[in-house]
Amino acid sequence: MPKSALTGSRIREHRLMRGLKQADLARDIGISASYLNLIEHNRRRIGGKTLLALSEALKIDPSTLSQGAERAVVTELQDAAASDADIPVELDQIDDLVARFPGWAAKITAQHRRLRALEQTVGGLNDRLTHDPVLSERMHEVLSTVSAIRSTAAILVGTPDLGAEWQARFYSNIDTESRRLADSSAAMAAHLDNLSRKDTSTATPLEVVFSAFDARGHHLRELEEGGDPEAFAAKMSEIDSTAARTLAAEYFRTYSADAKAMPLEIFEPAAHEMKFDPAALAVRFGVPLEAVFRRLASLPRGATVPDIGLVSCDAAGALLVRKSPSGLALPWFGAGCPLWPLYAALSAPGVPIRRVIEGEDGARFTAMALAHPSGPLRFDRPPVYHSIMLLVAQDDATGEVAIPVGSSCRICARSDCDARREPTVLTHG
């Protein structure tokens, strides 16, 4: 069923919600009741003046009638179908599923979002465990102690005529190393227990801040309405350390400045008008390109807003801002994929870069990156740059050649990548 075929059903639904009779609505917009009946039963296509007249009479936006609020659900279902190509689905009937069984459609999309979030969590936890200095130290202690015990035991077994004095020394060594092994194992278990309970003491301030951003979809309504950044950071219960609150206030001040320079009620229509072109928007509002990147990523998600992600890093390549789009998980620890335009931009500060990239599951994005000064330029010290990359979901039918990328080497299964810096932990049996 084509997407436009459900327009009549939406018109009928909104007419009934407002308690209007079919004949009355038809008379108000200047068409016959029989013609409106055909429209409502999806037997006549509708557009132009008739659609505008109906939307005005029903006091609803024309796009809601033509596209429907369920477009986001349809997009999620298409994403769910693409994520597991081994199971064939009836893609041409997705609209019909949403229209006839909205509850089931919503439940499927919710489960798909949950699975996607879990996949990203697993990837992030794996990355965290790989780069956790405490865990690495404890594991090294355990392995070293086990090796010492094994070597001592091998000497005792392999030397049956060893004197009593030497046997006593070796037994004493085994006892000492065994106690050390028990202590190291207990410390490692305690650290893992803290991680499993999401103990905030094991999370960095940056993690805490962007967990708060993620929980709000990177759209902070309080700051959109002119709220104070410091007061907003202070009242957020999940930001419970001085370091995290200080960092949050810094990011919130930047968010507030962007919102004031590009008010949502003006910026969002302009973004649609300019097809989400950051360069054109930067000229329209007279702001730096990186500010437009941030503002686009802060737009509230809607049926007409593309899936947008954002990531930034410092000059050392350490990731700072993270907003993962569907189909490309962003790591919480270490560096990202070396092939991201984010890193290429650091070699040419001030020069915007645009590439089409493709994640491991086939999701394609227009990636736009720019390296910009992170502070004022001075003559007495070298400039410090940050790089920022905007990711906008792209239709794979554009025909553009895409660069295959991953999340990070540790959790990327691409076997033929020339940029790989370390083996993947993913194995294929």
Asked if 331 and 319 touch (Cβ cutoff 8 Å), the reply is: yes
Cα-trace Rg, the chain: 29
d(CA 218, CA 201): 24
For the chain, the residue count is: 429
CATH number for 27: 1.10.260.40
Whether residue 182 is contained in a domain is answered as: yes
d(CA 57, CA 386): 51
Asked if 212 and 244 touch (Cβ cutoff 8 Å), the reply is: no
Q: What is the pTM of this model?
A: 0.57
Residues 395 and 353 in one domain: yes
Which pLDDT score is estimated for 395? 67
Whether residue 125 is contained in a domain is answered as: no
- The three-state secondary structure class of 71 is helix
Asked if 334 and 408 touch (Cβ cutoff 8 Å), the reply is: yes
The total number of structural domains that make up the chain? 3
Residues 316 and 356 in one domain: yes
Q: What is the pLDDT of residues 349-386, one digit of tens each?
A: 999 999 999 887 778 899 999 999 988 888 998 999 99
Residues 317 and 398 in one domain: yes
Residues 410 and 314 in one domain: yes
Residues 59 and 174 in one domain: no
Residue with tokens 């500010």: 291
Q: Which two tokens stand for residue 68?
A: 């429907």
Residues 51 and 140 in one domain: no
Which pLDDT score is estimated for 253? 95
Last residue of a domain, one of 162, 186, 201: 201
Whether residue 296 is contained in a domain is answered as: no
Which pLDDT score is estimated for 313? 93
Residues 311 and 425 in one domain: yes
Average pLDDT over residues 211-224: 88
Residues 424 and 355 in one domain: yes
Whether residue 400 is contained in a domain is answered as: yes
Asked if 183 and 190 touch (Cβ cutoff 8 Å), the reply is: no
Which of 268, 276, 287, 292 is closest to 365 using CA atoms?
276
Last residue of a domain, one of 170, 201, 232: 201
Which residues form the domain of 31?
Answer: 3-100
Question: How far lies 337's CA from each of 265, 287, 294, 396, in Å?
Answer: 36, 29, 21, 21
Whether residue 416 is contained in a domain is answered as: yes
Residues 96 and 137 in one domain: no
- Looking at per-residue pLDDT, the higher value among 123 and 301 belongs to 301
Residues 141 and 81 in one domain: no
Whether residue 236 is contained in a domain is answered as: no
Whether residue 225 is contained in a domain is answered as: no
Q: What is the pLDDT of residues 140-176, one digit of tens each?
A: 788 888 988 988 888 888 888 888 888 888 889 898 9
For the cut 80, the answer to whether the pLDDT of residue 240 exceeds it is: no
Whether residue 343 is contained in a domain is answered as: yes
Q: What is the pLDDT of residues 80-90, one digit of tens each?
A: 776 666 777 78
Q: Which two tokens stand for residue 361?
A: 């599951």
Question: How far lies 320's CA from each of 95, 251, 295, 332, in Å?
Answer: 39, 11, 16, 9
Q: Provide the b/e sequence for 290-304 (b: ≥16 CB within 10 Å).
A: bbbbbbbbbbeeeee
Asked if 233 and 252 touch (Cβ cutoff 8 Å), the reply is: yes
d(CA 170, CA 272): 76
Last residue of a domain, one of 176, 201, 226: 201
